Structure 1
């Protein structure tokens, strides 16, 4: 084996090893290359905030996938406000709490990092190395998209901005020594993590936001609307038998909770297209019945209480007879107690 091959072998081995940096008392791998295969893929996470990506070219000003969107999401979750003015060469601004961002030369965890038009969050500082939490830092090679988790840069490569509260005290990780004006991180809880509901019946999922910000709302979604639907207020309705998940999410954040919903067949019921009929000049009327929560062998049958006043066919067609008066048409499911009636008056 010649010297060139030895050097290449050593270089390949070095590139294959993960460089590790201590982060808040834990060990975290640096600069892991990840292939982005789907929209919403979580590439990195720090302090409960996820960096999400989607395949394809750079996302510019996208409200979900841009680099600035991550910075806003992180500060909203950790500090309780949204930073603005995230443009090339600018200093971030804050309008909600009376504080301000200042440029600093020695970054700390939670600071905003910036280079030209790119923005990120400082995850860790180790000597001259800074680990970033970021979005939209990706590369497209052919039809594949790649991103980096825990990307490490040299300290001098970026500019750094730190938030100071209205009293001039620096705020890191959502707290300051002099003021409680910066909110604690949100929490989200739901009253049930699993529930059973019958078809055509309802159950309510209640979600509660802890350390709620002004304007915070919870949205609900179903993983399969053919099995169960959910309203904006968390009311779940069983549609057909099966299992799905209802997710409660704090709007504008990645904070969510899931509830497993199991739908079973509910009690039978019958609905008729008329509960009262008056036949004067009209000689017949098609009475139509629908079975809800129907079993495979269920069929509707019809009968009349007085054949001299009105008759009913096997398909539910009501015909008046010569005698005037009132008769009751009953639709029922044989072998069950489920029935529905229609009062027919013949004049």
Structure 2
């Protein structure tokens, strides 16, 4: 909203069936009958839309593309278009599917394909420069091995195994404007007055989830072989990346697992991801964005994912190839999740 007016206020009137048959355009000074008009509005993030305006809309959520879909789109649409713009043809340059897959998975991170198209354009510009500088010869083959020369080092690489190698770190799953992503929760403890410090630009709901996670473990710690003294210290919970605001209840089970891992000295399995809201009684409640979260887990190299049991119906939306690659375990109680997600005590002792 500024000196040009408030678009949300105008849309409120336009989308109200009781008013839009006599909508008045104050710039044209005309009354318009918009009652038979179908309006289509798009947004990347629904949270920034005013509640009153969102209530007048029928929300259709479109999931991001899978990696296989991105490769198919790149092969059939993006590559031919960028070949034309670079004044090249298919006989002069060939990009194999594995190279496209690595570009989509490790050089870009998005729900759509804009960054993927920019990366392809960058490669073809460099190929065109090479062909123009040298005498025409054999066609250029762009493979996984040659991506380093054209695009540099990958920007996004799986790091779950490295991050969870120490007790107190758990891998969660989240949904962002760029699709699904993995979310690490780190827990640390030090001598001092019992308290919980939270960092990582957490919203109010996420802060409350952390308090619930700690209260649950203090009340039910003996069931998980946790010594009460381990939780009666100064605890610090951090969610990287610190510059990115985060909120929502779905990291509850991840926080419980990170704190339980810290208290028992047993690392979380590096192949495990999880998502779900947790209650004070340890019930795991359903969450949203299941498809995007499972795609993110698959992309990050995780093989086991814990989901709330009440999200079982959402698995129908997940591509079959992803469902077959992941061991999806449905849980109703967070204690069951913690027992299966932590490394065995013997393995933790050997690692130490």
Classify the TM-score, shorter chain. Answer: under 0.3
TM-score normalized by structure 2?
Answer: 0.18
Provide TM-score, normalisation by structure 1: 0.19
Higher normalized helix content (fraction of residues): 2
Higher relative contact order (CA 8 A, sep 6+): 2
